[in-house]
Chain A
């Protein structure tokens, strides 16, 4: 029998607010355990949570960017369960009446038509603390993370392959980082995903029993985890077995998923409205104001780069991959008045040099303005493209202006025919054998002469002038 996978995703987006969702404790990563705690996030009796306005703002932005309806009224609920990282014995979340509902994203898997993925809901909630195992004969509880604001983005079970799921995740990741509401760091858990995976016979109208794969922290692992789980379930069913509804953990070392013991007890969270938090009412004006302040989203920017700046689809795709890269490119292109050259340089030398040194675009020591100055020098014919690469390297090292470097190191392109002619004469005189070869019809030797002349002039000769003069001289 042939099986069809059905996948839904729950993504936790950690918001990059300065303070926690219900108290003023810092959300900064890496502090001494429990240094960022107070009666509210410690869950001490009598402490009252008060909602961080920025969290609401971020949730509205996420909702608008994913085509959701923003609820006029929404409420917070208590999700009850016991775990040592949850000091109150409940997590403040949203259950009925979440802030955003009924959105969608159009995803694109290479070689397939675009597909619309439904977003069931986006709700706000607090993160739990962190457990550290093996501290003497016990586990340590660090509540610094308890109360960090999260958005949970729940998709419809609309994915039919791991590739579709990954395409959606990448797009959602790009959107929340463009919005500037999440730092997007998957390794540190700022953007993490649970996948609900089931399989059903092709053509069936009812979904199979699903397994939930927890906290997979890279796009690569999401693909591997889902694909493994699909195969596992199909094998199980083909052998006459049944899939159990359970939570499974992905193990990156083996590429497999395994059952989490002790969690098979059916969850009974006994949600109820949190009496400590008053209802949230979002006016149409608030939504409108936020809509106006939304930054340009990746799809729109990509289209604009193609239509306004004349970039190819591929270049536009690469340059909009992150908001900071797109901003770097745009500023360079605007100052240089040459989008195509700016695109080539940002995707070429800039990206290559950043990758070599393991840096992100935000820490590029050559600011867009300086890069644009360099492109000007090329456009004017003051330096060749090859020399420009050397100047770029020197700019990277010294932080100096390109014109100053060209001047200091005598890199200016020589178009002066006298100087070039002198160099050519010298080379031809020193290589009589090759001159004969050329004249007897071996025109390939021409490249050798160009190389020799360029080398003699340390790469500063204008290649067009060299070509022209060489041709004339060789014709003799």
Chain B
């Protein structure tokens, strides 16, 4: 199964990536190759097998509803490229 340049453009837009025409072409062929490889799986007969969401045989990992201390605004904002008061600041968002 190949992937078209149109699909690459769509995925790039969803990921907020700006690709040049050359990159688009390169990634189409690379991703096509990857998808074709994964395609091999289709040769397996999976009738009657429940779709697997998780490979680890673990279920029901819970925590109880108890409040734990948060890390504080200084730490929370320590990696922020920009801040105002204790907010992260981002370019203006217009709704």
Which residues of B have CB within 8 Å of A53? Answer: 62-65
Instruction: Knowing A34-B76, A51-B61, say if A139 contacts B91 (CB, 8 Å).
Output: yes
- Find out whether the CB atom of B89 lies under 8 angstroms from the CB atom of A279: no
> Are B61 and A36 within 8 A (Cβ)?
no
Q: Which of A128-136, A229-237, A410-418 contacts B (4 or more CB under 8 A)?
A: A128-136
**CA–CA, A39 and B72, complex, Å:** 11
The smallest C-beta distance from B2 to any residue of chain A, in angstroms, reads 19
Closest Cβ–Cβ distance, residue A17 to chain B (whole Å): 5
Does A33 reach chain B (CB closer than 8 Å)? yes
Chain B residues contacting A338 (CB-CB under 8 Å) are none
Q: Which A340-357 residues have C-beta < 8 A from chain B?
A: none
Alpha-carbon distance A256/B6, docked complex (angstroms): 38
Q: Which of A220-228, A268-276, A288-296, A419-427 contacts B (4 or more CB under 8 A)?
A: A268-276
26 interchain pairs (CB within 8 A)? A17-B65, A19-B63, A26-B67, A32-B86, A33-B87, A37-B71, A37-B76, A38-B68, A42-B76, A50-B63, A51-B62, A53-B63, A133-B92, A133-B95, A135-B84, A135-B89, A137-B92, A138-B82, A138-B91, A140-B88, A141-B88, A273-B54, A278-B54, A278-B56, A278-B59, A279-B59
Inside 8 A of B90's CB, which chain A residues have their CB? 84, 138-141
Which residues of chain B are near A32, meaning CB under 8 Å?
A: 73, 86
- A249 contacts across to B, CB distance below 8 A: 95
The answer for the CA separation of A457 and B64 in the assembled complex, in Å, is 64
Is B40 located at the chain interface by the 8 A CB criterion? no
- For chain B, the count of residues having a C-beta within 8 Å of the partner chain is 38
Q: Complex Cα distance A260/B94, Å?
A: 10
The listed residue with most A CB atoms (<10 A of its CB), out of B56, B61, B88, B95, is B88
Q: Are A140 and B61 in touch, CB under 8 angstroms?
A: no
What are the 3 tightest A-B residue pairs by CB atom distance, in nearest-first order?
A24-B68, A140-B87, A273-B53
Q: Which residues of A contact B66 (CB under 8 A)?
A: 18-19, 24
Q: Does A448 contact B (CB under 8 A)?
A: no
Task: Give complex CA distance A140, B85 in Å.
Answer: 9
Contact among A34, A261, A262 for B87, CB-based, below 8 A? A34
Residues of A within 8 A of B (CB): 17-19, 23-26, 32-39, 42, 50-56, 75, 80, 82, 84, 96-97, 131-133, 135-143, 249, 260-262, 268, 270, 273, 275, 277-281
Chain B residue numbers with a CB within 8 Å of A34 are 73, 76-77, 86-88
Contact yes or no, B61 A50, CB < 8 A: yes
Inside 8 A of B87's CB, which chain A residues have their CB? 33-34, 132, 135, 140-142
When distances are taken between beta carbons in the complex, the residues of chain B under 8 Å from A97 are 53
- Is there contact, CB below 8 Å, between A279 and B53? yes
Say how far A358's CB is from chain B's closest CB, in angstroms: 31
Q: Is the CB of A18 within 8 A of B67?
A: yes
Taken together as a complex, chains A and B put the C-alpha atoms of A141 and B10 apart, in Å, by: 28
User: Are B86 and A33 in contact, with the CB atoms below 8 A?
Assistant: yes
Most buried by B among A34, A52, A56, A277: A34
